[in-house]
Each structure stands twice: as C-alpha cells, then as structure tokens.
Amino acid sequence: MNRYPEHDTREHLLATGAQLCLSRGFTGMGLSEMLAKAEVPKGSFYHYFRSKEAFGVAMLDRHYVLYNQRLQQHFCQENASWRELIINWYQQSLDYFNQHGSSPNCLVVKLSAEVCDLSEDMRNALDNGSAQVIAHLANALEKGREEKCFDFPGEARMQAEVMYALWLGASLQAKISRNSMPLECAIGHVTRLLVEPVS
C-alpha cells in the first residue's frame, strides 16, 4: 500500500530523485533504487511520469520553481541595498560551500553538463530555469542602477547573463577543486563590477 497520499506522491518522488541525483548524477540514478528509497511502487511512478526523462524534466522544473521562489524572497528584503542583495546572493553560495563543501544549488551544477547532450527536453528545462534566474538578476541590476545604488557598463540583461555564468562556473570550479577560491573570486569580481556612486 502506498504510504503517501495521492497529492503528495509525485512531490515525494521528485524530492527523492533530486537527492539521489546529487550523489549519483542522473544516469547513475536507477529507477528501482529510487522507488525503493521512496517506498513507492513502480506503477505509481508511471502514473505520474511516462519515462525517466520526463521525470528528469519535472525534477528540474521543481528545482527552479523552488529556487526562484527563494530568489524572489531574497530580492524582496527591505533592509539591504540592491548592491548588498546581489553580492549576498554569491555570499550565500560561498557560506554554504564553506560549511558543506558543495554548492547549495548543486543539482544544476551536477546535471548541467551531464544531461545537455543526453536529453533535449532536460536541456530545455535547464535553459528555461536559468533564464528565470537571469531575469531576477537583470531586474535587480536595473532597479539598483535606477536607485543609484551602483552603476555598471552595458545593459542589465547582458550583465545578468555574465553574472549567472560566473556563478555557475565558479560553483563548478569550486566543486572540481574542492576549494572555495573560485567563489571568493566571483564575489570579488561582482563587487568591483557594481561600482558604488561617489558621494
């Protein structure tokens, strides 16, 4: 008997799969292992997902929904300037890495290179999810410049693209080197990029 209510089973499967992917990667995560860990019968999986690939897409969509909710809350804080909020976004990753030895959003770091050549649907999920993150950053940059918290060269969207790529690359390099220096360098670059106005 399924121990999870109908409306919770799909979420439970996605959460369990995400945790396994963090340690094994997507191709290394076996469905049988995941279902055993989730204590959900195989039939329930195919009730919600037509394939492992469809599951992967849903897992990434879920990840970005949750992440973008946290990012929206982060940028809605009223006790910090836009400059502080943007720099603190990087700082949170650095703090988490120093405590846990990994990026707090390493599902994206873990799967980005792995699945892009394996699944066009999962690549699209990553692309769409990252576009939402970049949009949040672009909005923060635009608002910060409008309110004269800082200035930067070029368009906000272009800089947001660069800053997201910087975060993703720094997170991956920190994972490779098992060293926080790439994230520290990323914070230093962003701090210098967002030039505070001269009073």
Level-2 CATH architecture, domain 62-193? Orthogonal Bundle (1.10)
Reading the block at residue 144, the tokens are 């910060």
3-class SS of residue 151: strand
55 CB contacts (<8 Å, ≥6 apart)?
Answer: 13, 14, 17, 45, 49
Output the pLDDT for position 7.
55
Q: What is the maximum alpha-carbon separation in the chain?
A: 68
For domain 1-48, which CATH number applies: 3.40.1000, 2.30.110, 3.40.50, 1.10.10?
A: 1.10.10
Under a CB-based contact definition with an 8 Å cutoff, are residues 30 and 115 in contact?
no
Burial annotation 77-99 (CB, 10 A radius, 16+ → b, else e):
eeeeebbebbbbbbeebbebbee
Residue 51 pLDDT level (bands cut at 50, 70, 90): very high
Rounded to whole angstroms, how far apart are CA atoms 79 and 100?
27
Answer whether residue 5 shows pLDDT above 60.
no
Per-residue pLDDT band at 105 (split at 50, 70, 90): low
Q: How many other CB atoms are there within 10 angstroms of residue 179's CB atom?
A: 13
Using one digit for the tens of pLDDT, what is the confidence trace for 147-169? 999 999 899 999 999 999 999 99
Q: What is the per-residue pLDDT for 3?
A: 56
Domain extents for the chain?
1-48, 62-193
Buried b (16+ CB within 10 A) or exposed e, 18-51: bebbeeeebeebeeeebbeebebeeebbeeebee
Q: What mean pLDDT is predicted for residues 18-41? A: 93
